[in-house]
Amino acid sequence: MTDTQRPTPPMPDQQQEQTPGRTAPMDPQPDHGEESYVGSGRLAGKAAIITGGDSGIGRAVAIAFAREGADVLISYLNEDEDARETGRWVEEAGRKAVLLAGDITDPAHCNEIVERAVQEFGRLDVLVNNAAYQMTYPSLEEISDEEWDKTFDTNIGAMFRITRAAVKHMKPGASIINTTSINADHPNPGLIAYASTKGAIQNFTGGLAQLLAEKGIRANCVAPGPIWTPLIPSTMPPEKVKNFGKQVPMKRPGQPVEVAVSYVMLASDEASYISGATIAVTGGSPII
């Protein structure tokens, strides 16, 4: 990746409607590894589910997994254009892409995601729980009960249900990777609902790693810092978008491809003794 592909604040003015955001209007465009990620067969023959796989980190992980040899089910809400683009990159890598739209706050859809993957691939080796919802609020009084519940249902409730459905299809050597956040350790007060779910995800993953160890199934977290995805211009106020990433030691947001390598490592057989871990991808902000 060249320096010109590493966006540095101030970012251009750009606001989108509320989440889910779209990739096409973003300036600069996120780098998902379309032209840069080179695989080496580390996930050859594996089958994976990626929730929120249409854009952002999810798209970068899907591209990386496909180039490492995995077939991918891309779960997403309703961003059909973005999902089709992700699927195109997976297929260009010579792997099978299955697109499945739906709301993961619906327990029946959580089960559908897993059943469809097993039906299409005949196996399930990797589950990436990546889909998330956030909105920025300056005070508790502005957060409604409905908003709080939606954030938890999307970010941790769905994760529990999809994982519960997936585990019965997973064999020893399988890997579950949950996307937490730097907010789990350094909560942003303007994202208090989102940050609370990310702390819950980290705790859930730590318990899960212990619970599944005897089955030979690993569970880990990736904790991104500020990453340049459609979630940013669609959920943050203009000033936050303009200065996005400026707060970390590297003084810039990360690109989705810069996060994807962590998921590849955790999904691979090379990580056979890593479980219960949190991998920080934060531009220099420590998680200790």
Taking the C-alpha atoms of residue 97 and residue 185, their distance in angstroms, rounded to an integer, is 34
- Does the structural domain 47-281 have CATH classification 3.40.50.720? yes
Residue-level pLDDT at 18 = 65
* 194 noted as active-site residue: yes
At residue 127, the pLDDT reads 99
Answer whether residue 2 shows pLDDT above 60: no
pLDDT at residue 1 is higher than 70: no
Q: Cα torsion at 269, 170, 97, 44 (round to 10°)?
A: 20
* pLDDT tens for each residue of 120-179: 999 999 999 999 999 999 999 999 999 999 999 999 999 999 999 999 999 999 999 999
Banded model confidence at residue 19, pLDDT cuts 50, 70, 90 = low
Q: What is the pLDDT at residue 5?
A: 65
What is the signed CA dihedral for 264, 270, 274, 280, rounded to 10 degrees?
Answer: -40
- Over residues 37-61, the pLDDT tens digits come to 999 999 999 999 999 999 999 999 9
Sequence spans of domains, the chain = 47-281
Tokens of 282: 């934060």
pLDDT of residue 194: 96
Q: Partners of 73 in the beta sheet?
A: 49, 98
Express the helix, strand and coil content of the chain in percent, nearest 5 each.
45, 15, 45
Tell me: pLDDT of 4 over 60: no
pLDDT one-digit tens code per residue, 66-111: 999 999 999 999 999 999 999 999 999 999 999 999 999 999 999 9
Among residues 37, 76, 133, 194, which one is catalytic?
Answer: 194
Q: Is the pLDDT of residue 20 over 80?
A: no
**CA dist list (Å): 71 to 28, 187, 282:** 29, 35, 28
- pLDDT value of position 6: 82
Residue 31 has pLDDT above 90, yes or no: yes
Under DSSP, the state recorded for 139 is: S
pLDDT computed for residue 265 by the predictor:
98
DSSP 271: G
Say which residue, 144 or 27, is predicted with more confidence. Answer: 144
pLDDT in tens, 222-263: 999 999 998 889 888 898 999 999 999 999 999 999 999 999
Query: What is residue 178's three-state secondary structure?
Result: strand
